[in-house]
Amino acid sequence: MTTQQTNTQRNSQSGQDVHPPIGIDLGTTYSAIASIDKTGTPYCLENQDGEFITPTALLMDEHDVIVGREAVNASTMEPHDFADCFKRDMGGPVYRSGLRGVDVPPQVLNAFVLEQLKQDAEVAVGDIKKAVITVPAFYDEGRRKATQDAGALAGLEVLDIINEPTAAALAYGYQQGLLDPTAQSPNKPTRLLVYDLGGGTFDVTILEITNNTYRAIATDGDVQLGGKDFDERIVAFLAKSFIEEHGVDVRADPQEAAQLWIEAEKAKHTLSQRLKTTVIIGHMGLRSRIELTRDKLEDLTRDLLARSETTTELVLQNAGLQWNDIDRVLLVGGSSRMPAVSAVLEKLSGQSPDRSLSPDQAVAHGAAIHAAMLLKHQHSNLRNCELINVNSHSLGVRGVDRATKRHANAIIIPKNTPLPCRKGKLFSTSIDNQSSVRIVVLEGESMQPANCIELGACVIRDLPPNLPAGSKVEVFYEYAADGRLSVHARLQASRQTAVVEIERPQSAELEDLSIWKRRILTTAENVVQGDPGSILKRLDELYLMTGNAAVAMALPDSLQRPQLVTQQAMAAYRAAKDMMSKAELAKPNVKSHHDLVQLSSKLAVAKSQLSRTESQARFSCIVLGRQCFKENIRPKNTENISLEIAQLRQALAE
């Protein structure tokens, strides 16, 4: 009997509802989906390839969007139509270009993965509508919102978005029987340090389990550290070895570069089991057999592990704990399998890390448990528990520093504050006869607002006349357990108030995944009547022209941030073009083999940099143009463009 048949039988015996509790670990490199059986035991569901984890990767072929293992396998033949590691782009102004000539936002790419996970799982458990999706604990508001958008695009009602380390700890607590909701008095707390090193992100969270309560104490992380970075070091080592032997850079060929990444990941996995491995590389009729040892890999990636070590120590310090206060060090994430990780943590903690959970499935299991509790699933015997998380980023107000007279971030809710919470501060108006007060909500640790993320704003308008400078304004933040933020501002003198709820609504631009699929797969150059894919392509072209025209304009405050992002992206693109031009101009002057090797490497890097910055600049211009249109800002000589945009949007709505 196959595992899929076992899962189906397990659900039919348990009499589960049509809509079972579902938890999804949407990973940077691999994803998993899980449910709960009658006994309350979580289990992962197989994908179409009979595997429990699915590569978070896409291939856009001529007829469909391919997700998973087949996409990775085909990447060596069709590298320009392949995308992976796009979870790292969530919440930021980065589109993937080159996917059949279409710029695609990361929410859409992740939605394709979620849709495939959903479809594969439905073979075993039936129709799926609701799910809990996990995110790295260190994700900020923008990334959490983008994850919620991706779930909605995939046809899911997102019950909750919970932190990956919390989900893993939840799975561990149920597996170990640590919860005891019937206890008359609190049991001795069990403290877990969850070290979560995934494919693209890294988190450390300290949690405390007491009876039926999971309480996060402190968290920190790095959204740009994961197994992919270890792979990159191996790729660089292999490419350098090939250059030294043959004088050419294998990365200059996109197909060979894609194969090199696959070989690097295989080598990393092998070195978790063996002390050495051999990688065979072929390029332009040349071949190399390159030996890589575990010691060499650890030497190549020593600084990456040091970064994780520093973060781990910082979390412990922020929690006010010593290593002897930690009962278990729990390893989560596929990259935690590397022997060097266990060695570092054993040296730090003085105890052997706990590997009792599957690094690949634990997070999905915990998410499924949480989904079952939220749904109060009638056929599971799960004992309910309370999850108390902390915020991973500080929340503040943009104000003016009295000493410097410059804008500053006045933090109201520091990071690692238990949720829910309500905190406030007293501020003063800055000038006489001030007619309104604008409260700008910032997320981040920096005292400089420019280095923080602006989540939203609320305004107290029509203040009383002759209001003196220094009039007091009370600002309160209410941060709910689900991460929803409400801001209350009150002017003491007049009792006038303003309230705004910072929500994570689905973007209107991302409301239909099928339209995005048609848009990507269409090959027509011109707009085809009634074809949404062609209409959306043309809209992007028009938004791009509008953004280009607006980039040097004097724009209102609401558009200054996207304008600055666009200016920076365009400057980076110009710099990349300049670097590419200089490398090309150097070709005729190459005289020695050594110079040829160096130039080959420079050209490969320049080409990659040019492609990346061009994509980001294009997307930033599209975003700026779209926002200009929404706010009725019409740059000079774009009247006809605006008219066509309006007509196309109307055609799309119809």
Cross-strand pairs, 66? 59
pLDDT reported for residue 307: 93
Q: Give residue-wise pLDDT tens across range 486-535.
A: 888 887 766 667 666 665 444 445 557 887 787 777 643 434 445 555 67
Rg (CA), the chain: 26
d(CA 640, CA 647): 11
pLDDT reported for residue 392: 85
Question: In this structure, is the dihedral angle defined by the CA atoms of residues 493, 494, 495 and 498, taken in order, positive or negative?
Answer: negative
Residues near 409 by beta carbon (within 8 Å), at least 6 away in sequence:
396, 397, 398, 399, 442, 444, 446, 447, 448, 449, 452
3-class state of residue 345 by DSSP: helix
Q: Are strands 421-428 and 386-388 parallel, antiparallel or unpaired?
A: unpaired
pLDDT reported for residue 178: 60
**Which residue in 238, 294, 244, 285 sits closest to 261, CA to CA?**
238
3-class state of residue 422 by DSSP: strand
Q: Does residue 189 contact residue 183 with C-beta atoms inside 8 Å?
A: no
List, in order of start, the domains of the chain with CATH numbers.
3-225+313-388 (3.30.420.40), 395-502 (2.60.34.10), 522-653 (no CATH)
pLDDT reported for residue 179: 53
State the residue for tokens 């709505």: 653
Q: How deeply is 509 buried, as exposed, middle or buried, from its count of CB atoms within 10 A (0-12, 13-18, 19+)? A: middle
427 Ramachandran zone, left/alpha/beta (phi>0; psi -120 to 50): beta
- CA distances for 467 relative to 434, 472, 476, 496, angstroms: 6, 10, 22, 13
Take residue 363 and report the two structure tokens written for it. Answer: 């997070």
Q: Does residue 410 contact residue 452 with C-beta atoms inside 8 Å?
A: no
d(CA 245, CA 260): 16
d(CA 167, CA 366): 4
Residues near 134 by beta carbon (within 8 Å), at least 6 away in sequence:
23, 24, 25, 26, 161, 162, 163, 164, 167, 363, 364, 366, 367
Query: What is the 3-state composition of the chain as percent helix, strand, coil, each rounded to the nearest 5?
Result: 45, 25, 30
3-class state of residue 172 by DSSP: helix
Sites in the chain below the pLDDT cut of 70: 1-18, 92-101, 178-187, 377-383, 482-483, 493-496, 498-511, 522-534, 587-588, 590-606, 608, 612, 652-654
pLDDT reported for residue 312: 94
d(CA 429, CA 275): 66
pLDDT reported for residue 622: 83
